[in-house]
A and B are shown apart, each in its own frame.
Chain A
Amino acid sequence: MGRYILRRLISVIPTLIGVTLIIFLFQRLIPGDPAVAMLGEHATQENVERIREQFGLNRPAFLDREALADGDLTGFFDSQYIRYANRLLHFDLGNSIHRRIPVVETLSERFPATLELATLSLLISLLIGLPVGIASAARRNSALDGVTMVGSLIGVSMPIFWLGIMEIMLFSVFLNWLPSGGRLSTGIVITPITHLLLLDSLLTGNIPGFVDALKHIAMPAIALATIPTAIIARMTRSSMLDVLQEDYIRTATAKGLAERVVLFRHALKNAFLPVITIIGIQAGTLLAGAVLTETIFSWPGIGKWVYDSILGRDYPIVQGVTLLIAIIFLLVNLIVDISYAILDPRISYD
């Protein structure tokens, strides 16, 4: 098992290199000169050149053939991509073109907010989606099943921006129960440990802080959880229905096992396999930042940030966040594969 995990980890490396290449290439395909974007339309040619020089934008993309012709080997490798890859190895994602501060710094500030929101949303969707899916498969065509199917259809097709605005209208504007944005009220301080506010406030025994953080995260978490909940419920239901038709379920019933045991022991473990893949995809999507949700609730995560950076052609930020998202997806896939190997004995580790 350990070897299997190690081998899967190593196989991540070539994928990562591929990811950096693709990120780099796509950046160059986007029209517009970042130096011009930085200085504005009316910048002098001289200033543009200076900025291009400063950020290495005047260097060739991959390899400098002219330098090679001159016998300049260092110059040959001195390209935008190699510079970029070299910095990555030193955990340097470059500086933001506009704000001039390291991307890593902003990322480590903003990512915990996204991580916290995504984790809570995923928890909500698992806690609701899985039991609801199982129950409606076990009682197929019952009233409960009908409600679930209609409810999840609404959930899947719910426009999040609309749901978010409705939440704000109801809970912030009319009832005045919950704050409409941000992570924390001014004046509340939570000692940072993990930078996940709910966790930190609990760890430091800061109950007012916990309540305040919970009030802030409640609406965005529910809005963000809507679609994954519906997808997980539907997937669990259909997967359970497939499994419940299997011969080994009849064997289990013929043995005299209670329906509950047949459902949870014999059916669920089999039915869970395809559901894990879906959960993985949802987890990746949530962690990649939810631009809409974060924008509506002024949530200081990476979604809103990367959106603004794309508009401002802030290459280093976009590159950094894209890389982070790629790594998240690779890790999630790794976890999904390992869970498969644990749950299904027919998958061998070798």
Chain B
Amino acid sequence: MEPLLSINNLKTRFHTEDGIVKAVNGVSYSMKVGEVLGVVGESGCGKSVHALSIMRLIQIPPGEIESGEIWFDGRDLLKLDNNDMRHVRGRDIAMVFQDPMSSLNPVYTVGFQICEALMLHKKMNKNEARHRAVELLTLVGIPEAKRRLDNYPHQFSGGMRQRAMIAMALSCEPKLLIADEPTTALDVTIQAQIINLVVKLQEELGMAVMWITHDLGIVAEMAHTINVMYAGYIIERGNVRDIYKRTLHPYTFGLLGSLPVIDEAPGTKLISIPGLPPDLIDLPKGCPFYVRCTYRVDQCKFELPPLMESESSQHTVACWRWQEIDGKGTK
């Protein structure tokens, strides 16, 4: 089947006073219709920037999508003119952002902000849009949706705002929902509610979901496939089972080791990855993880490992020594 989204060698950079920040460095992968993809990595690994590049929401300047192709539904999004791109945004691909407190416009009602997309893409009139907005708010679990429609964002709690953002994103039944760390700013109990909500809606509506997070635990529950990103590269990609049970990249191994496990003996230290990610302005010639890696050899310093197929074509890894690591990552 034709993939829904297919990204080819995407490179995004930012021109700053200190130099060129290479945020995304040749990312390629594809997503199927209805697939849930988890994109995992530390802050600054390029996961949000690559998502914003898909939506073409990178501010240019200082940003620049240097090269690549983003095929969605048979069209290269990077070649669309602004007007065509507008029709993709919100209608075909919708996005939910990290901070619900600042993502809604404070001077318009929540209802108006949801109706806006409906009137734009679905050509609904005001009444139809309001009617649909009530349905959407009910769908995402906001009680008394009809009354809440005329509330302003400051009258909503953080969790409710994120629900409203999701309602807004779902309003035009997008084929792909990009959720950029949507639960990071929320309480843990609310986090679980939002995750369950998206999982439920994904199953009901059959849309593809890209869930961006730094928390491997979250995507373990919901994703089919996981991309692990580091310094603007995808360093490991595979289905959830492979990533967790047959970890191949030392960085993924480290990420998993830094997750607390409930039945571990008290006093067991969490494994942390020593050092910091490389400076994106001055990337090393070889493997970006070299300085922090416990498996490093000289080859890693000078040759950038490409994403290679491992035991299966579905599980790829960018490490020269994956065969030696294979199996050691099992928990």
Contacts and interface: CB of A to CB of B under 8 A. Distances in A.
A256 B106 contact: no
A139 interface: no
Interface stretch (B89-97, B282-290, B320-328): B89-97
Contacts of A256: 86-91, 117, 120-121
Contacts of A247: 97, 99, 102-103
A16 interface: no
Interface string A246-268: 11101111111111000000100
Interface residues of A, number: 21
B89 A250 contact: no
A332 B207 CA distance: 54
B116 interface: yes
Interface string B100-126: 001111111100010011001100000
A345 interface: yes
A269 interface: yes
A346 interface: yes
A270 interface: yes
B7 interface: no
A251 B89 contact: no
Interface residues of B, number: 31
A248 B103 contact: yes
A255 B90 contact: yes
Contact of A251 (B61, B86, B97): B97
Interface string B113-151: 100110011000000000000000000000000000000
A344 interface: yes
Given A247-B99, A346-B152, A346-B154, A254 B106 contact: no
A248 B105 contact: yes
Contact of B105 (A254, A259, A266): A266
A255 B105 contact: no
B20 interface: no
Nearest to A141: B61
A343 interface: yes
Q: Specify which of B61, B95, B99 lies most central, judged by the most chain A CB atoms within 10 Å of its CB.
A: B95
A350 to B, nearest CB: 15
Nearest to A140: B61
A136 to B, nearest CB: 16
Contacts of B116: 252, 255, 257
Interface of B: 55, 57, 61, 82, 86-91, 94-95, 97, 99, 102-109, 113, 116-117, 120-121, 152, 154, 165, 168
Interface of A: 141, 246-248, 250-259, 266, 269-270, 343-346
